[in-house]
Amino acid sequence: MVNDQENQKKRAVTWFKTLRDKICKVCETIEDEHKGPFSEQPPGRFEKTTWQRPDKNDDGGGGEMSIMYGRVFEKIGVNISTVKGTFSEEFRQQIRGATKDGEFWAAGISLVAHPQSPLVPAVHMNTRHIITSKGWFGGGADLTPVYPNNEDTLIFHSSLRDVCDSYGEDYYERFKKWCDQYFYLPHREEARGVGGIFFDDINTGDWEFDFSFIKEVGMAFCDVYPKIVRQHMNLEWTEKQRIHQLERRGRYVEFNLLYDRGTQFGLKTGGNTDAIFMSLPPKVTWK
């Protein structure tokens, strides 16, 4: 029976790649379908860049960064990576199960979309598998509309709730709360967006069960976000709405640089700077 950790790693890596391909495909389809503002421009296409993690043994892994600058998606980045190495001594103390020598293996997918239209919500999704002396999954998805509306918020949350409810009675409540607490800007006393789910340290003892949950989170995202985009992408917006969008994006930058653990993890483990900052909005203003 092939169920050893090496095989699990391989399956996780393959899944993150599959999900990346699915997401890129649906987003390019949305670009093709678009009939709203900027539809006189050609539909966007992802461009892929591969990167290697610098490592003295040339074995630190790397990733693939796919970025599209389109007519619906002003900037959307989807990054997959598989890295291994050694945590710095300082960082080691913050990591669950970090061994004495600080060795780790990590693979994952992360996505951030910044639409042209202030009426189409920005979104973030990430799932990951990390192995130190322990192994666990983490991830989440959260929606950041410039102009929140109940319908979008409801279908986004329901979709994630449906997945959570199949895996644990308390999953949704816990992960939604975790998301609200995590994506919060204390200096602004503001939530980053309308939330979603956020989770870490997922290890029930049944790897298949946990991996299945991670896959379903990815698939639910890949289904629900395009619905929300298609709902609004063809609408006209005003200059005032655009100005407000660019200001709100400032909050996104503030969160990512001041508080985001993924950003810190990437910077402290010698991740690829372009891939880490792929999440930053293309245009931003501060008053």
CB of 262 to its own copies, least distance (A): 13
Binding its own copies (rule: CB under 8 A), the pick from 154, 235, 243, 258 is 258
283 binds its own copies (CB under 8 A): yes
**Residue whose CB is less far from its own copies, 115 or 218:** 115
Binding mask 59-98 for its own copies (x = CB under 8 A): ----------------------------------------
Binding its own copies (rule: CB under 8 A), the pick from 29, 133, 203, 273 is 273
| CA triple 75-153-236, angle to 5 deg | 50
Q: Give 277's DSSP letter.
A: G
276 binds its own copies (CB under 8 A): yes
With the C-alpha atoms ordered 17, 22, 28, 30, is the resulting torsion angle positive or negative?
A: negative
267 binds its own copies (CB under 8 A): yes
54 binds its own copies (CB under 8 A): no
Q: Which of 116, 147, 153, 137 is nearest to 227 (CA)?
A: 153
**Residue whose CB is less far from its own copies, 53 or 215:** 53
Could you give the CA distance from residue 15 to residue 211 in angstroms, rounded to a whole number?
10
Q: Which of 34, 114, 124, 232 is catalytic?
A: 124
Q: How far is CA 28 from CA 43, 145, 171, 226, in A?
A: 8, 21, 32, 11
Binding its own copies (rule: CB under 8 A), the pick from 207, 254, 262, 275 is 254
Q: Which listed range, 58-66, 171-179, 224-232, 249-257, lies at the site for its own copies (CB under 8 A)?
A: 249-257
243 binds its own copies (CB under 8 A): no
187 is an active site residue: no
Q: Give 44's DSSP letter.
A: P
Torsion of CA 39, 126, 211, 87, to 10 degrees: 150
Could you give the CA distance from residue 74 to residue 34 in angstroms, rounded to a whole number?
13
Q: Which listed range, 40-48, 144-152, 232-240, 277-285, lies at the site for its own copies (CB under 8 A)?
A: 277-285
25: enclosing H helix or E strand: helix 5-33
CA 171 to chain centre: 19
Straight-line distance from the first to the last Cα atom of the chain, in angstroms, rounded to the nearest whole number: 60
Binding mask 177-196 for its own copies (x = CB under 8 A): ---------xxx--------
For residue 230, give both structure tokens: 């298609």
**Residue whose CB is less far from its own copies, 35 or 287:** 287
Contact footprint for its own copies (CB under 8 A): 186-188, 250, 253-254, 257-258, 267, 273, 276-277, 280-287
Active site residues: 124
